[in-house]
Structure 1
């Protein structure tokens, strides 16, 4: 296809191109050269080569970009002089020398960049077309982008490796610290390195996919196919486009990979890749540790393994991993236990056989005392070939039913107790399920008949006496009242030992408050994170039902950012710290907590600030959990707050982790601007805050969104990045919004961000009534959690 053909052949003296000078041919020779303002274009019109400058940079580079979409955005796919930018290009030129070398000359006719060829030719032409005559090709020297049919890997005959290296940041194509390799050490596997350290590992190729990738049915695509080749001469992987009219590329950013396809309807790149999650951090759980998304903690030992250092493990330091519960010895009998559904361990110290059967694998590994484990090499057509490991097994994660089987050498005594223990576990499990079922029946009966909560035994919460809370709040004095919600009032209190507390007191007349009360206990009692408010206990006595929390002396975020006086107490670094803290708390709820929890009512008034201004997400009365790997659900009972609800949730009742992401995006834009989304008023238009931010973004005026009091302390790069992340989070379609893992990554580094698309609820509206009833600088009392039944 032409999109592959151009980059493969351009700059290798064999491309199909034409020069935008006086010539109409599609080749350049030693008598032609390119200067600033001039370009050459591939014969099919897909790509263009010339001088360019990244946005917000005065440096110039020779690069290749998509010609077809230049009117919408300049997408650079290759850079020549990425380490030697030109600062003065009045006389710079790019040409082919008589010896067959591509050279970039600087303003003083000095050589800035050139190709390195192993032979010389007479009268070279940049359009030979015969592969045997190739002197040099850019496909062998990519930057951060892999295009269709480009091979990433290593040629064993020449020793040349083709790999990707990320840009330093979106304004600087200098090679950054992150690189993508196909590492042939042991059995080949795809690695992302941060400097010399392995940052993430996709795993080894198993005939269908990388062993750490989703199952085949989840990666089948009508857009591209993946090829993996491994023989004596070379090892590489590439992808091919099924529909030659499509534009598709794979890009390495700072710490993550994006597979992007151009969507002509929306005039934007669609990210088809699944972002890395917590368990993709290399060797997070150490040797024989298994990472499981959704578990708390995410790291656990494989069955029949125990933490090597239990005390460190309990404190969250999993780096030393696990060891066998019963060590095996070479002179004693051993067995191989099967572990299913995993991402295969690091293959750096592995050996392989491409033809052996699985039984043959077992026999060979059994005879070699240093053989730790074995697995099938190729699962594309039954189990074929073998992978053998020696030493410890590193970087394992659970992939449910999507992973592979591995057989690990164990002491034979582990087999003797297996059936007995399994029987005991089965009986215990049956008894446990019966007890749970009985508990549910009793709970529902009590709730329906008597409207009383029996939470002490169910959730093991510390119980406070009513007399203790009464004394702490001065008999629920009006002077101690600090807020009110759908559940009832909130009071500040001080326990006898001096600890400050916040007391949520359930109103006896609030049925909705009763539901919120139970919901809050169910979820927050099981959560532990520095950016979530901590539940200390409850009080259940007579008709009184109360929840006791740690007290947040700085109250809620909205009391600062929307107050004309108090907002001046926070500078930009504190604003950015709060944004990051909320993001990490939300990531924990979505990905790393024991339950996958969707908050459904994230807003400024539900973010509390401790004494050090650390943000803590609160109010889980509307929260919902979703099982397993599910990301959302649908409801007929829409709850939340106007101005923060995503379109699909407010209109169709569809809530998911992406509806929380939308709320987070609104919150980010509010934190930057110190303005409310709902009730926002502007003299030039009738857009809400999202529409105003989008308008400024499209006009390249995003810096005008920041509140004027933050101007002196702001880091312009952080501000613009925060605004763009906020706009990415509030995009109309849920699939376009990033996950919270990606959000945390985007806020933490200087990687190139994708272009934002139009936000949800991007319409002008009549704000006369709203402007008179809700001020964007008012207090949180103007903001209410609402419930909508049967959304259409």
Structure 2
């Protein structure tokens, strides 16, 4: 609960009020503060204004502790961390529309609050919690804030802040370190929740995992120092359908605390005790350790890391090094000494005590099951590798693993009991929790016998029916492959050097709730796409080949063959496929943030995609294309690059998808010709659309279109301007020639953009969409330019297809083919004249 705050309006005599030490906490509509002015929360704990960190002369709008440190201001939040003001001309104003705007010389926008909710009689208020909020002047309900700084954290978590994801709005709150003590710009470290499987937090350096918190066990995170109950602070982890987050609250009003991710990657929890008058520095309460055993997966699969041991990595009991004959060590990972024998009911579980729980990204959980029920469920599924009691405070809950167990270390005090699946011969006298109770053991054995008999009879009967129907209706179709959650049964495609997991139809139907309409994610040229979840808890996206689709068996095979051979962080991962009867499906990893189109062209969601995220996405697409064109075993031309084929994961990393229309080159081939032109209007290059000539430069053209769309928030096709009939490419080119390229920038990113990066992106986009393919850069040059390593010295020439009624459309209008639609569905066949 926040303290009661007296609202005072900031009048024209602001400076004199501040000089008399009167606490002003509110800005009313059209009022402003300038560099040199400050706002103080009514309780006096926090102050908002302009400051220069460390030895820097740059100016930033921020919030810091008031009268807490005699050496320097401890900033807890920074607004314009990426775009500093180089002098004292900064002004913060609250507009009539209820938006906070930070400007340079009261004219050039530097930052804004990007409020998504409208407010009547808006006021901006600095609360004594350190939260800077926008609300209606007569409404103090925290749920009704139109904007709050707590939703946009920098490197620090204060009491009452949430660190995690809102599943309803998509808001992701995480910590991002400063670049240095003098520069609050985003550094290389982030601390962020990963919601896959059972949620856990990862500390990353750039995109590389450094440390994992482990899952919440009801009292603490299993990989963090144990948090003891005390009278000063209380930690909470919330997990429900709407939200997943960690937060904490102070129980002692005379204590100040903060959790900070510093520039060296240390996550520290610190306190300042006002009760102790001699306190002159922050006290470190908790911090992430930096031993080798805290490094993510330091000892590999089934390896146990023990601090102080020599060597630190050893295999878990009854495991051996993965490659002993090749000089392998425990750090390379381990395997079971005796293989599992699930089919003969010969497996059990061995308890390992005092360990950090393994990586939970490929796990399943239930919050109400008992440990006995948890073991029974895991034992029934051959792909279940381990289980554990999820909530040790209530001795309830079940967590199951469906993959190799990685990132395990010994914790003598904080560790938990972990039950790992082993062959029966390895168990010896080790008894599972169920087997320690003889009556329970024999009851379980009787249940297993009964279940086994019934299951066997049912299976034989079912196989007979399936065989009869299969022989009668599908004489040429192969039998179904059995699939366990989290595991695929591989089938080698005839005449193809490829192995991909094969799913049966029943598994996919169950995962998608029989393709329920509420699980439908969308539909493209291939057919509808559904969200699903395998029994092991892994989320999937299922793409069905519609019988009405113009794409057919060739495109289906094409995608399976290509994407299975391609491995890159910016390419979507194919988990398997289903080819049963007339049903053909592709099973992918699920991308929770949908497509790039769903953000850039959506009036509300585009506000969630600021410039740093957009630039990150542009860079990721470029790296994925470079891999396809140059670094993959196959030389791939995608031929259908567009925003709807760029998927976004939970961290907004882009993944190129939909390889049904892709083509590969061999040797030194650079281009090819086809009579079957495929692609999407607005993204196809001129030489390809008219002549059927495609090359890597065709994909470069499509990439350039996406860059300009991402910067502007406008589609190339369907673009309208009252002063001309040009499409987006033509409009961007005219603005660039007239020196007005900034007019192309989407209003949603004006206040978050790095102007140099945006202008370079526009320049690069125009280079990529030039009419002649030989004028366009290749993707290796594009990646260098985006990284600031290549000079943009060439001036772009006129784009291809830069008028609304271009040559392609004239050709189509004379074609005998059916008329094209104005939507963004892929065109799969076009005979050029």
Task: Report the TM-score when normalising by structure 2.
Answer: 0.47
TM-score by structure 1 length?
0.49
